[in-house]
Amino acid sequence: AARRSAVRAWCLYDWANSAFATSVIAAILPPFFAAVAGRELPKHLATATWGYASSAALLVAAVIGPVLGAAADHLGRKKPLLLACVAAGAAATALLGLAPWGGWHALLVLFAIAFVAFAAGNVLYDALLPAVAAPGEMDRVSSRGFAYGYVGGGLLLAVNLAWILKPRAFGLADADAATRLSFVSVALWWLLFSIPLFRRVPEPRSVAGPRPLAGMPGAVARRLARTLAGLRRQPELFRFLIAFWLYSDGIGTIIKMATIYGAEIGIGRTDLIGALLLVQILAAPASLAFGRLAGRFGARPAILAGLAGYLGITLFAFFLTHPWHFWVLAALVAMFQGGTQALSRSLFATLVPRARVGELFGFYSVSEKLAGVVGPLLFGLVAQASGAGRLGVLTLLPFFLGGGWLLATVDLERGARRAQES
């Protein structure tokens, strides 16, 4: 009963923080920033400024991830550090609603703080997976967490969009007031649904026991250096990280570029928003289905099936022309997105030595963050050279093919044995 309660509490954190990913990162803050910054900057410069700020926040999060993970392993205190991330992220998100109309600089700073806290918190959250799930349950539990996230994030996003599109129906003055209230609602949602994790998920037992803060910077630096050197002695783990980086880059590019590509070919705003909500609705049961698929055939075959699905999605996107095509594309993405990511997380957990789970999930996070850089850049370069985004879509194929091939060559049994021996 205690383990089931811990699993539910762990999954609820995905429900809690996914609201930030959907409402703030994906749907509401970018156009709000463009409107605020557009009062002082040309439209194209406002868009570019947002892109630069997002890339900078992504880079900072990538650097912080391994350091924070190593610090958590050194101190034997993952939950207190996660609590600090939640508090900082939720506070910065709530303050987004108070930024003055001319305060686009403040919006950027607050978004950067919230995003880095969100990303750093995910490193610690992922590192708690082995503490709540037995080895044979990690695929199912990880998939369940993603399903919770899609439902929770989609539910609050639907409420927020209703406020913004029909503010007077909810007693709000206008869309600006509704947008600001949405930021506050995300902060409260994040805080409220994080509470069960801190109450019910046990702090993982440190192999060496908790250590004092004194001398931590040097100890963390030594841990990271040993981990980087140790990757050469764990070729399966290293090969998996490269495979994950490749196919995650393809997935991340689809997530980031889908709406822009859709708008370019003439898909209307209503269809774009509706398709985004459709992904949130369908991805939850699809993630659970992937967990059951992994239980029957194994995590790797299920991931490879997901990557095959993404190859089909890429080819379908190349021929996309009508709004209903975009809805079909969204449904296909929903089928494979959460399950592929969830099983990648649980499969990685089986290859990680328990003494270094935090820092290695930090490197996993780095792979995930860097996956948001190369794919969109290559997509953009090809789209610019060809004069249209359609050929840019085809740049995704090598990421899925290369990542799938590398994943198929990982010796998972030997990797799991080495993790247990380390």
Tens of pLDDT, residues 115-165: 999 989 999 999 999 889 888 899 999 999 999 999 999 999 999 989 998
Q: How far is CA 347 from the centre of its chain?
A: 17
- C-alpha 138, offset from chain centre: 18
Mean pLDDT, rounded, for 270-298: 87
Q: Is pLDDT above 80 for 102? A: no
Q: List the structure tokens of 315.
A: 């080819």
In this structure, the dihedral spanned by the alpha carbons of residues 85, 86, 88 and 91, taken in order and rounded to 10 degrees, is 170
Q: Write the CA distances from 392 to 26, 92, 159, 311, integer angstroms.
A: 21, 35, 34, 14
The answer to whether residues 70 and 359 touch, using CB atoms and an 8 Å cutoff, is: yes
Mean pLDDT of 268-274: 75
| Between 229 and 40, the higher pLDDT residue | 40
More confident residue, 216 or 391: 391
Distance CA 345, CA 7 (A): 15
Q: How far apart are the first and last CA of the chain?
A: 31
Residue 278 to residues 15, 72, 154, 275: CA-CA distances in angstroms? Answer: 17, 37, 9, 5
Contact between residue 108 and residue 140 where contact means Cβ atoms under 8 Å apart: no
Return the pLDDT at 47. 64
Cα dihedral across residues 42, 393, 239, 137: positive or negative: positive
Which are the contacts of 308, defined by CB distance < 8 A and separation ≥ 6? 404
The 10s digit of each residue's pLDDT in 341-388 is 899 989 998 898 877 787 788 778 766 666 666 776 777 777 767 776
At residue 32, the pLDDT reads: 84
Residue the block writes with tokens 């007031």:
177
For residue 49, what pLDDT is reported?
Answer: 76
**Number of Cα atoms under 13 Å in the Cβ half of residue 190:** 33
The highest-confidence range among 37-46, 79-88, 204-213, 282-291, by mean pLDDT, is 79-88
Q: Cα–Cα distance between 422 and 360 in angstroms, integer? A: 13
Cβ atoms of residues 153 and 291 within 8 Å: no
Residue 215 clears pLDDT 60, i.e. is over it: no
Q: What is the pLDDT of residue 251?
A: 85
Residues 6 or more apart in contact with residue 360 via CB below 8 angstroms: 69, 227, 237, 352, 353
The answer to which of 253-262, 265-274, 314-323 has the lowest mean pLDDT is 253-262
State mean pLDDT over 170-187.
Answer: 95
Q: What is the pLDDT of residue 277?
A: 84
Out of 84-88, 161-165, 213-217, 400-404, pick the least confident: 213-217
**pLDDT computed for residue 309 by the predictor:** 95
Helix (H, G, I), strand (E, B) or coil at 194: coil
DSSP codes of every residue in 377-422: HHHHHHHHHHTSHHHHHGGGHHHHHHHHHHHHT--HHHHHHHHHH-
Token pair of 2, please? 């205690």
pLDDT at 212: 57
For residues 414-418, give the mean pLDDT: 88
- Average pLDDT score over the chain: 85
pLDDT at 269 over 70: no
Instruction: Say what percent of the chain tops pLDDT 90.
Output: 42
Averaged pLDDT for residues 54-79: 84
Q: Is the pLDDT of residue 67 over 90?
A: no
Here the tokens at position 271 are 């269809």
State pLDDT tens for residues 218-260: 666 676 677 666 667 788 998 998 899 889 888 877 776 676 6
Q: Residue 323's pLDDT is what?
A: 86
Residue for token pair 């967490």: 145
pLDDT of residue 199: 95
Out of 113-122, 188-197, 200-209, 281-290, least confident range: 200-209
Predicted confidence (pLDDT) per residue in 196-209, tens digit: 999 999 998 765 55
